[in-house]
A and B are shown apart, each in its own frame.
Chain A
């Protein structure tokens, strides 16, 4: 075997918020840690997060309570979020946010000098009884940028070893399925290297690029999910995709929910504030799934705006120039650039747009990846050496629908938790899985396949076809026959992508090769999504079916588990046993 090997105690794949919070924890402990990122870390998608990080730090309301945040999150998840994980996130959250502030994150401030918090969707006081809460900690509308740069700066300070612009292509496992590290390519030189480590942490983010219209960065191609599935690791609740109510029509760029938090609202072509009909109490600040569906109903019922009636308007001008420029400066900029609309004067055309992958690699609260020991109905067991944090993971705190501002909290809480756990495990002694030459060959097979390709279809055309298939059959509203057709189309695409051609086989900064490898990952995510969506015969959270319009707690108050080996959908129990509070029992979900 001719491949160069470098050895670490732990490697983190992905340089977004979750990956850099994990690497920071381990760098501080002095273990030999590498962070591998396909882009320079501050180019990761966390940078695009706008509105804030939701957490009960009791700044806006001195009586705020993390348990209220927990209640909102459980309800928001449509009751398939794991209550032990949500409890952990909401209770550890304040400490985690204060740490970020101590690191230098430039939060906006209140007159008292505390962190500024704004209202976001699905937030309440007193377990839904006390009205709208303001719980989302913000740095203007650039919170993700501020958070990501702060974490990068702290990693610099603490001497994390960065491998920027290195692309992790495959997870290496031994015969038992234990993780031994990853095969990664240096994008600049084309060199392929085996990064061997006792702990491999996937923090590779989401995969919104499986859809044609998404708020996600071009780099969000589900690399971690693809690597996991190819290595036989299952994924959980992967049918659950969040469509953000306010993507700029046509461009897909995100407009933060913070706009509605600050008092903006949606109107149809008649100028009607239609959310009052769909969610009489929370109105425009209902759960994202609820708002996105309401917008689509308005559009489908012929009350959309514009020449084709295919979007609605987000009205902000009544907030005044001063509020818009101090609280939402980035939105003003984006709207002018991508919608040619100045929010101070005119509304922004918006449409529900693919935004977030609630599903992912199942993990426990330490970030340890799980598989089912006895097939579909088996007990979950840990996969030695493999961890997942952030959007690629399904811990699960978001269940069937994520609340706004909970993704940044998820990143830092579980990035930190995985770091703490690995630190401790390394101290006690972790095993290093030793792959043999067959294991290495398996991990290299995909790279060789593309390098030997000739004469097939192009990566760009196949990617487009995959994206439009997903957009048409697995969007906001879903229907059995369309999904069955979608599953078939994806299967057909699998065979064609297996024969596709990489035209450019050069070594130095070959972005065509990276895009080809990313296409394989998009396909893996799309296939799992399609099969899981078709298989979940109910409507819950973001998964909304015409043919099964109701929530079915008898059969589906559970996680779905997609097994890549059999391509079958199984079930896994949701955790209803928080440690310090009573269980939140499933109720009818209204806003």
Chain B
């Protein structure tokens, strides 16, 4: 099968280019990451991140035939129907909107900065009990669909609002994390958290485009979380 991969090495290349590889998968519907590993055996200069290879570490987010996803849990048949039959090529590019360091490896500093801005840690100043803090199953359920984020950046780098304002708009991933703590019955910093979001950019640049929802490899829904924060901000204002 044919694979076309975005290549760029800052030491030797004046500009990026697409390079074609021929890979033999034995007709098997491999994961995109398996194909990358086969390419790496042919050409060890090809750069990409990977770790867990099972969709939980978030290392191998990339743009696969036009859509962001995790290479390790995207089978060829879903990435590019027809690729196994030789009807089309698998096309791999780095996540859009972030500076490229090399090949499929992007500089995620801006993405992490936005994550850190939401103070992504539990804040509770009451003295801790000798055992755990109690939380009802109903309260615990409120952070399902939020805490599972793996920080792969597929969502934020598919978001036009984040492309425009990656420094001022927090982006779907960071906002999902923000709501993860707002929704946690054990967290006491609700007012402070909301105060930091109450400006024209941090949250309100979300235009409900929902690319984040369509690409999230964990099936999470940042747009809904952003909607909940909007409601909380509204209630706080009245």
Contact = CB atoms under 8 A, between A and B. Distances in A.
B227 interface: no
Interface string B31-62: 00000000011001101111111111111000
A40 interface: yes
B137 interface: yes
A247 to B, nearest CB: 11
B234 interface: no
A115 B121 contact: no
B44 A106 contact: no
A145 B107 CA distance: 23
A509 B102 contact: yes
The SS class assigned to the B binding surface is loop
Contacts of B112: 40
Contacts of B186: 104
A43 B58 contact: yes
B101 A337 contact: no
Interface in A453-467: 458-461
Residues of B in contact with A, size category: 35 or more
A113 B53 contact: no
Interface stretch (A120-128, A149-157, A487-495): A149-157
A509 B12 CA distance: 13
A562 interface: no
A521 to B, nearest CB: 16
B140 A109 contact: yes
B9 A506 contact: yes
Given A156-B120, A506-B11, A506-B12, A334 B135 contact: no
A43 B59 contact: yes
Contact of B57 (A42, A111, A115, A458): A42
A176 interface: no
Interface in B133-162: 133-137, 139-140, 143, 147-148, 150-151
Interface stretch (A95-103, A264-272, A439-447, A471-479): A95-103
A42 B58 contact: yes
A201 interface: no
A380 interface: no
A98 B128 CA distance: 9
Interface string B87-125: 000000000000001110101100010001001111010
A461 B42 CA distance: 11
A145 B121 contact: no
Q: Chain A contact residues (Cβ within 8 angstroms of B): what range?
A: 35 or more
Interface string A122-157: 000000000000000001001001100100011011
B130 interface: yes
A162 B130 CA distance: 31
Interface in B183-225: 184, 186-187
Interface in A352-369: none
A149 B187 CA distance: 16
B137 A508 contact: no
A10 interface: no
Contacts of A103: 121-122
B16 interface: no
Interface in A304-339: 330, 333-334, 337-338
A137 to B, nearest CB: 9
A379 interface: no
B101 A508 contact: yes
Contacts of B10: 508
Contacts of B136: 109, 111, 113
A25 interface: no
Contacts of A98: 128, 130-132
Contact of B45 (A149, A459, A460, A512): A512
B83 interface: no
A218 B48 CA distance: 13
Nearest to A460: B41
Given A48-B57, A218-B53, A458 B44 contact: yes
Contacts of B102: 508-509
A17 to B, nearest CB: 13
A361 B2 CA distance: 45
A76 B23 CA distance: 46
Nearest to A190: B11
B80 interface: no
Interface in A63-115: 97-98, 101-104, 106-115
15 contacts: A43-B51, A43-B58, A43-B59, A98-B131, A103-B122, A104-B122, A149-B147, A153-B120, A153-B122, A157-B119, A218-B51, A337-B73, A460-B40, A504-B45, A512-B40
Give 4 closest A-B pairs by Cβ, nearest first: A104-B122, A113-B134, A153-B121, A512-B44
Given A114-B131, A139-B147, A330-B56, 9 more contacts: A43-B49, A44-B57, A106-B143, A149-B147, A153-B120, A337-B75, A460-B40, A460-B44, A504-B44
